[in-house]
Structures are given as C-alpha cells and as structure tokens.
A and B are shown apart, each in its own frame.
Chain A
C-alpha cells in the first residue's frame, strides 16, 4: 500500500556538529566597551582564588553561533509547525504578544529588590493575574511563587500539612488514584506523606466504595486530577469531596487538565480545597523545550494563612507591596516571587481572551477531542466509553495483535508530519495512546491527523514492519536508549 502522507514532505536539512568542534583560538563573538576605571591586578586582588584557565569553552564567531542554533532548531518539531497532541501537556498556541510584552524594558529589567515604590507595575501585574486566577478557579486566595506544576503540588501539600498541623495532627498519608501523574506520588514523598493508591472504577473514575473504605483520620488529602488523565470528568466529584470532608480530609486538585474547565465550571464550586495551575499549559506560556513553567496554587479561605511568604497586598496609602510577616506561612518555596515573566505572559493571554474567549477556548478544546475520538473510534480500541472532555485515551489492543505497540504507532506518526501523542500513560490503560489536540487545531489539521492515524492502522495490518521500523524520514531513528543509560556520556570531551 502507499501510505497517505499529505502533511509532510522530506526536505534537506543541514548537518551540524557540536559547537566545540567549531571552536578555534582567536575567534570571538563578543566585544566589551573600553574600561572607564583603572585596570586591576587580578592576581593581587584574588590571590590563590584567581582562575587562570577556562578549559574547553568554545571560541566562535557570531555568524557561526547563529547558524549553529538555527540549524539545531530545524531538527525540532514545534507547535508552530503543526499539531502537537501530547495528552495532559496542553500544547496550545503560544501567542507572540505574550513574548513582546514580556520584553518591554521596565518589565524585563526590573530587579526583584528594587524599592516597592518603583515596582508598582510588577506588583499590579501580579495582583491582576492573581484576581483573574482566583475568579477562574473559584478559590479564595493564591500564591504565584511555585516555579512549575510539581513545585505547585509540593507547595499545596505543604499547606495541607500545615492546615492539619494547626488542627493538632498533620496526618500520615495522601490518597492518589492509579491514573495520576508521577509527580503526585513523588511530591507526597517530598512532603513526607505516605502514598496510598486508590483504584479507578470500570468507568475510569474514582471508585467511591474504595474511597469510603480507605478514607479515615490518617488521610490528609486526596490528590485528584479532574478531568482525570483519561480525559474524564469525575462526575461524583461532590460525593468525593463530601467523603473527604466528613473525615476532616482535604481535596487537592491537580490542575494539569484545567484547559477542559475554564469558563465552564470552577473547581472552587465543586468542593476543591487546594489546587495548582500550570500557566505553561492552560494559560499559553511557552513550553520552551521543557520549561520555564509556573505553578500557582489557589486555596480556599481556611488555607490562606499558610500561603508562602511574601504575598502581594494593598497598603493603607493605596500602593501595592509585599507582606512578609505571615506567621503561619509554610515558608518560602523559591527565591524572589516566582517565575514573574510567566505571569506577564499568562495575563496577556487572559486579556486577549476575556470571559467570552476563554469559554470559547474551552469549548473548542473539548469539541476537538471529541471529534478525534469519533474519527478514530473503531480504528483504535477505546478502553473507556465514558464521555471525553479535552483529551481521549485509546489503547493499542487491536494493533498489538500484529506486534505493533503504542510507541511504534507514535514513531510512525512522525513520518506523517505530526508530533506523537502521549504514549503508555495513564498507567491504568495498557498500551495507551493519549491524545489532546487543544483548541489550537483547525478542522483541516485534525482531519489530516485522523487520516494519518487510520493510514497507520492499515499499515499495521498490511505491512507492520514499516511501522515497527519507523520513523523513516528523520535525521536519526530509534536511538539506542539502553546504551545511553548503561554507559552514560553526559558531556563532550576533546579527543586526545
């Protein structure tokens, strides 16, 4: 058969070595202005602390640097090139106005310790964003300090612990569904809570009977992702909250999937006590190849005293300032005030959308996921028929009969011009294909995606080897990860 690859065509791209391989003494990409103060004798000033040699640091010219990184960039897939359907990662369009406003002089060059009197602009940005996020989540208070989602989880659980401590008993464990992100249990361990696994029911939701059975006065909180990692809304969310609250426990919501809810429903209204957001998912700040993120944590009134210090407050004279005197605070989780540059971008995104835009965004995200579900149902196995929100999870059960697994299909998808979906997660679905299109995809792009996935399914039947050997069109293919881990080469060294 001839595969229907319509989205992508092979194209020459440049080879490029490591920057160190281009270096030679005497080349330079820098120029300093003449020194306007007397030269110093570094040996005299620093004594034995003087550094003589900078080893193998490169020496290259500016054009070489431009070409080097431009060439490297062309080896990446990116949202700017097409659909990036990584489930639970929310790879949506990163608006360029966000980048422009983050670079305005006073915002880009503000020093975290400059006097509050001349920091009113930054404080106003933090305050406005905080108010928006509180309204969007339906919570009562927020900290912007955590640097990423997992950092937010840690901050949230520290507050859970402080809350229980204030009632006389910090409690011992946290309940985590078997469908949860790996960061949830890892975070619980960092805050010294034991992790207890909670089973999902046949619909992929929290099993209420198990929850009732496992819930007792030792449980500090349940960490729940909603919609969960199957893209399913926990319909009995309020019963879940009630079971927890009846025994004094708290409901923590992992906000990784908030893109399914914004403007349609608010966690604060369905019983959540503490939650984190990922500004780099829901609020369009760029993933940048793996960060920076930002993980604000929103809480209900009862947890407010425990927020990390400082918090932004309005002062009696009407100006804004930081309040450090917070005796019940869990402390500081990061230097300064968090990833401020991401606050700027997230606020610009909220402003570009407004209430109507945010709602429409959520609706389109859910519409897109359901369109893909409908398009691929039958071609791929759908382990849970529960309605999907913003993402849909298939399994490789049908293809596995030919020995083709989710990772193979994912690799073949690369040849079709798409980034793969999330593979092998959530763990409760063996051989999972987790697809989150986000609102940023047009109908045409999704039709191409559905066509590609169907074409791969046909290939699996007729010519499975093509899929097993994929990708065929990339610079490198199926890198040897076992060798990389067995004998790690983690840095370049000059040849002797």
Chain B
C-alpha cells in the first residue's frame, strides 16, 4: 500500500523487537469469534489515475458547466486562486488543533486575525474561531442567549433559512426551549406587530436573519427595540457574508451567528462551510467554541494561545457551554485569506457589484413576471412569482445549461409558484437576459393559453 512507509524487513524486525511471532499476535486481545476472517466488501485498491478518473466522471454528472441562479444559504462567488495556494501548505493543512502554542503560532495568529476581522465586519466585540456552519451557529447562539437571560422560550422569524429553523428545532427539542415562529409581513420582512404581540417575559431571544431568506434586509433597529424592551436578546443570523460590504451590520444585536461560506469557500455541494459566533465582551464566558487570545511568553514576546478553555468540553465535561470540539479551522483560514484580499475597499466594491447585478435582474424580471416584496431593501436575492410552476420553467432552463431560482413551495406553500433567485458578481448580464427571456416566454405562453380558453368559453 503506497501510503505505508515500511518494507517487509522493517515489519519483521519490529515484530522481533516486540517479541511477537506475527502481526496477528498483536490482535490477540480481540476475542477470536469477532475477528474478521475475510476481505471487506469494498472497491478493490485503485491506482491514483483511476481515482482521479472516478471523480472526474462524477464531476461530469454533477452540474459541471451550468450557470446557476441559486443562492438560499450557499453562494457562488469568485475564489481568488491564492486561497488554495496558501491553504494547501502542509503546515496549515496537516496540523492539529493548536493546543501546543509554541509550534502552532501560525494557526493561532491567523485565527486571531480572523476573529478581529469578523468583529470589524459585524460590529461585535468578540468572535470565536468558528462553528460547524451557519445553522448550528444559530442554534448555539440561541442556547447562549438562553443561558445568559435565564429565560427559555425563543421567537424565530419565519424568514430565517428553513433548514436553519429545522436544525434549531432539533437542538431545542431536548433543551426545554419552546420555539415560536413569527411570520413575515407584506414587504417580506418580519411582521413587527406580530412580534410585539407574541413576545413574552419568558422570551430569551428573538432570532432573525438579515438579509433574510428572501434576500431582504430586516429593520434591525425596530426588532432590537422590541426585543430589548421586553428584556430579550436579539440574535441575528447572517447567511450571505458578502452583504456586510454594503449593508449596515446588526450592531444592536446581542449575538450574531454567521455563515461565512461566501468569503472564499467553495459551494462543495453544501459543505464544509464556516459558521462563526460574535457577541459583546460581557457575554464571552457563555460563548461556545474555541477562542484565541493574545499573551506574552517568558521573554516578553507577543504570542497567541487558545484561551478561556474552562468553557469547553475537555475541561468542563457535562457542564461545558457546548460539546463542540473540532471546528472548521481550515475553512476559517480560507475566509480569513478572502477577507484579507478584498479588505476595506474591495469588500465594498464586491458587494456593490452584487447589488447592481441583482437590481438589474429584478428590474428585468419585473417587466415580464411579478417580483415580490418590492418595498424593502434587498441584497442579492429576490423572489419571482410566475404563472407556470417554477419546476417546469427550471427544467426548460436546464436545457440551456442554466439552473433557475429555488422553487419556494416546499418551504413556503403560500408562495405557490414563487422561486428565489440569486445574482452575484459572477452572474453575467447575458445570463440574466437569457433567463429573463425564458421566463418571459413561459409567461406569454400561459397568457395565450389562457386567452385561448377564454376565447373558447366565450
């Protein structure tokens, strides 16, 4: 086996040194009746060229070469090539969690920079080293608010990513955290009247996403005011990190739970991504996950260490803030490099391009179909309502090597034939025009079919 660095002679010599006759002697502590006496029924050992071929084949069966208008929590942005050059360095790729600070300063300093930039972008005072993803970060942020307030119930905006809501429901089931859902209003934003009516003195926090699942920027000021007046915390989930370049961050939030995939992380069919939690300094001891802090060594040199570990499972066991151990360090490094590349000016320009493409697309779609929730500001997603079932339209788009918007019926039955479209800086005008053209065609044919029917019945 080509990954194993031993010759038969080496093995022989080692067995002799140990005093064993054969390698099977070393497995003698396993009761004989359970030992496997046959080969595992898995594919035979393959050459590297065969493995590469296998995955190229799978790639061809996996949407390779399609133009996509999908967003909904997973965004297709350009990834500068130096991200992969740098994260491929073995010293980052093949290192463990930086518990031994003396020989982990590279990872530790980069996480410290990551924490700093997440703070700058979110307007928070502290950020952790990463969580699994945006959905689990949101669930853990809510549990944090429950610990901090000593209250148990949670108000969740219906415009939070539906899969985030599902994950939260799973986490909440056995924590004794009743969830209630607040619906959206006419403009696609959280219904403030409903929030005011249903918030109670037992509400630990209000959880909203902004930009929300429909791509609309929530009125964070107003929501924060209602939450805080009722002694509840505001937890804001951010699924599209690029929005932070041009959309004011939710500075009034108590906890922010982010998905940073947009910052240089490949779509990768849904993962690995990069969750992160940011909050106020005073809340840090209830924060889950790893934290890197600055300190000095015995010579007075600046250095970095994992810190506040007394919150964590390896010290506190069942009393820890969370069971999280492994996080998403290498993905956080991608995010870190991406943020460094675009920086103070680039992130803004990048976000502006997203805004401009989306504004153009929404205007074009509105000429032929109905774009919902026009009254509130949006970032890079919008909801289009068509006369025809969006699945039917999408299957025609596939013929043009295009993936249309996400049909919303599954998550929001009341939205019928609506779908969620996304444009990023990578969406070209000509792709938008082609997609709009196909949707327009569908609208025309439905209209003329309807007219025909009307003609006949008349």
A104/B82 in contact, CB under 8 A: no
Q: Which of A309-362 contact B (CB under 8 A)?
A: 330-342, 344, 348, 350-361
Q: Considering only CB atoms, which chain B residue lies closest to A331 in the complex?
A: B170
Determine whether B412 belongs to the interface, using a CB cutoff of 8 Å to chain A: no
Interface residues on B, range: 35 or more
As a 0/1 sequence over residues 114 to 132 of chain B, the CB contacts with chain A under 8 angstroms (1 = contact) are 0111011100011101101
Instruction: Name the distance in Å between A99's Cβ and chain B's nearest Cβ.
Output: 7
Is there contact, CB below 8 Å, between A291 and B17?
Answer: no
Residues A51 and B100 in contact, CB atoms below 8 Å apart: no
- A421-465 contact mask (Cβ, 8 Å, vs B): 1 or 0: 000010000000000000111110100000000000000000000
Contact B82 A490 (CB under 8 A): no
Query: CB distance B170 to A333 under 8 Å?
Result: yes
Residue of B nearest to A375 (CB): B17
Would you list which residues of chain B between 144 and 163 have a CB under 8 Å from chain A? Answer: 161, 163
In B211-230, which residues have CB < 8 Å from any A CB?
A: 217, 221
A147 touching B120, Cβ below 8 Å:
no
Verify B356–A38 contact, CB threshold 8 A: yes
Render B311-347 as a binary contact track against A, CB cut-off 8 A, 1 for contact: 0111111111011111111110100010111111111
Assembled-state Cα–Cα distance A166/B368 (Å)? 52
Q: How far is the CB of A18 from chain B (nearest CB, A)?
A: 6
With beta carbons under 8 angstroms apart, the residue of A114, A188, A292 that contacts B403 is A114
Q: Are A32 and B119 in contact (CB under 8 A)?
A: no
Contact B343 A35 (CB under 8 A): no
Task: Kindly state whether residue B44 has any CB partner on chain A within 8 Å.
Answer: yes
- CB of A269 closer than 8 Å to a CB of B: yes
Q: Which of B52-100 contact A (CB under 8 A)?
A: 52, 54-66, 68, 70, 72-74, 76, 80, 82, 84-98, 100
Q: Please tell me if the beta carbons of A410 and B323 are within 8 angstroms of each other in the complex.
A: no
**Interface residues as binary, B35-61 with A (CB distance below 8 Å gives 1, 0 otherwise):** 110011111111010111011111111
- Complex formed: what's the CA distance from A57 to B113 in Å? 10
The answer to whether A49 and B247 touch across the interface, beta carbons within 8 angstroms, is yes
Are B161 and A335 in contact, with the CB atoms below 8 A?
Answer: yes
Q: Contact check, A370 vs B346: say whether CB atoms are below 8 A apart.
A: no
The reply on B292 being an interface residue by CB < 8 A is yes
B14 at the interface (CB under 8 A from A): yes
Interface residues of B in 280-324 (CB under 8 A from A): 284, 290-299, 301, 303-305, 307-310, 312-320, 322-324
A104–B106 touching, CB < 8 Å: no
A353 with B45: CB separation less than 8 A? yes
12 examples of A-B residue contacts, CB within 8 angstroms: A33-B425, A183-B325, A265-B30, A291-B329, A292-B327, A332-B170, A353-B45, A355-B40, A357-B1, A476-B297, A488-B291, A490-B284
14 additional A-B residue pairs with CB within 8 Å, beyond A35-B356, A289-B97, A371-B18: A37-B429, A54-B120, A62-B82, A101-B52, A114-B63, A115-B395, A190-B323, A287-B326, A291-B330, A348-B51, A351-B54, A363-B26, A386-B29, A491-B127
Nearest-neighbor residue (CB-CB) of A351 within chain B: B46
User: Digit string of B175-196 for contact with A (CB within 8 Å is 1, else 0)?
Assistant: 1100000000000000000000
Is A490 a contact of B293 with CB atoms below 8 Å? yes
A177 at the interface (CB under 8 A from B): no
Q: How far is the CA of A367 from the CA of B136 in the complex (A)?
A: 39
B410 to chain A, nearest CB (A): 9
Contacts of A76 in B (CB 8 A): 91-92, 95, 98, 103-107
Which of A55, A131, A425: most chain B CB closer than 10 A?
A55
Most chain A CB within 10 A, of B161, B221, B296, is at B296
Contact A62–B341 (Cβ < 8 Å): yes
In the complex, chain A residues whose CB is within 8 Å of the CB of B65 = 105-106
Q: At the interface, yes or no: B386 with Cβ under 8 Å from chain A?
A: no
Partner pick for A66 among B6, B82, B217, CB 8 A cutoff = B82
Could you tell me the distance between the alpha carbons of A490 and B106 in the complex, rounded to whole angstroms?
16
Q: Are A108 and B356 in contact, with the CB atoms below 8 A?
A: no
Q: Is the CB of A115 within 8 A of B62?
A: no
Q: Which of B200-208, B265-273, B441-449 contacts A (4 or more CB under 8 A)?
A: B265-273
Evaluate contact between B316 and A40: CB separation under 8 angstroms: no
| Contact assessment for B269 and A111 in the assembled complex, using a CB-CB cutoff below 8 Å | yes
Known contacts A263-B40, A371-B14, A476 near B45 by CB under 8 Å: no
Known: A29-B341, A29-B343, A50-B246. A73 touches B60 (CB 8 A): no
Asked whether any CB of chain A lies closer than 8 Å to the CB of B437, the reply is no
Pick from A147, A387, A419: contact of B272, CB below 8 A: A147
Per the bound structure, the CA–CA distance linking A23 and B116 in Å amounts to: 14
Number of A residues contacting the other chain (C-beta, 8 Å)? 199
- B268, A108: Cβ atoms closer than 8 Å: yes
From A37, A81, A414, A489, residue with most partner B Cβ within 10 Å: A37
> How long is the Cα–Cα vector from A273 to B177 in the complex, in angstroms?
29
- The interface stretch among A117-125, A208-216, A245-253, A396-404 is A117-125
Question: Does the CB pair A484–B295 fall under 8 Å?
Answer: yes
- Please, which residues of chain B bring their CB within 8 A of the CB of A105? 59, 64-65
A243 at the interface (CB under 8 A from B): no
Give chain A nearest CB distance to B34 CB in angstroms: 5
Taking A69-B86, A69-B110 as contacts, is the C-beta distance between A339 and B341 under 8 angstroms? no
**CB–CB B94/A287 < 8 A:** yes
Whether A65 contacts B93 by the Cβ 8 Å rule is no
A183 engages B340 (CB within 8 Å)? no
- Residue of B115, B121, B171 ringed by the most chain A CB atoms within 10 A: B171
Chain B residues in 8 Å Cβ range of A411: 100, 102
> Closest Cβ of chain B: how far from A174's Cβ, in Å?
10
Q: Which residues of A contact B343 (CB under 8 A)?
A: 23, 28-30, 54, 57-60
Contacts of B60 on A, CB cut-off 8 Å?
A: 106, 121
Specify the chain A residue showing the minimal Cβ separation from B333.
A289
| Interface pair B62/A118, CB less than 8 Å apart | yes
Known: A35-B353, A183-B325. A54 touches B344 (CB 8 A): yes
- B173 surroundings in chain A (CB, below 8 A): 158, 331
Bound: A237/B90 CA distance, A: 39
Which residues does chain A contribute within 8 Å of B52, judged by CB atoms? 97, 100-101
A386 CB to nearest B CB, Å:
7
B5 within 8 A of A: yes
Q: Is the CB of A118 within 8 A of B63?
A: yes
Task: Please report the C-alpha to C-alpha distance between residue A483 and residue B428 in the assembled complex, in whole angstroms.
Answer: 52
Contact across chains for A80 and B59 when beta carbons are under 8 A apart = no
A7 CB–B CB distance under 8 Å: no
Complex alpha-carbon distance, A269 and B31, angstroms: 11
Q: Which one of A28, A135, A367, A387 lies within 8 Å of B15 (CB-CB)?
A: A367
Q: How far is the CA of A387 from the CA of B28 in the complex (A)?
A: 9
> In whole angstroms, what is the CA distance A344 to B341 when docked?
28
Q: Inside 8 A of A373's CB, which chain B residues have their CB?
A: 18
Instruction: Check if B252 is an interface residue, CB within 8 A of chain A.
Output: no
Cβ contact within 8 Å between A91 and B96: yes
Instruction: Decide if A475 touches B248 in the complex (CB within 8 Å).
Output: no
Please name the 10 residue pairs, one residue from A and one from B, whose CB atoms are nearest each other, closest first. Answer: A288-B330, A336-B270, A354-B45, A80-B90, A106-B64, A121-B62, A106-B59, A112-B270, A121-B58, A292-B272
Q: Does A169 contact B (CB under 8 A)?
A: no
A471→B345 CA distance, assembly (Å): 42
B86 touches A233 (CB 8 A): no
Say yes or no: A150 contacts B76, CB within 8 Å: no
On chain B, the residues within 8 Å of A99 by CB distance are 88, 93
Known contacts A367-B15, A367-B23; A350/B42 CB under 8 A: yes
| A residues less than 8 Å from B91 (CB atoms) | 73-78, 80-81
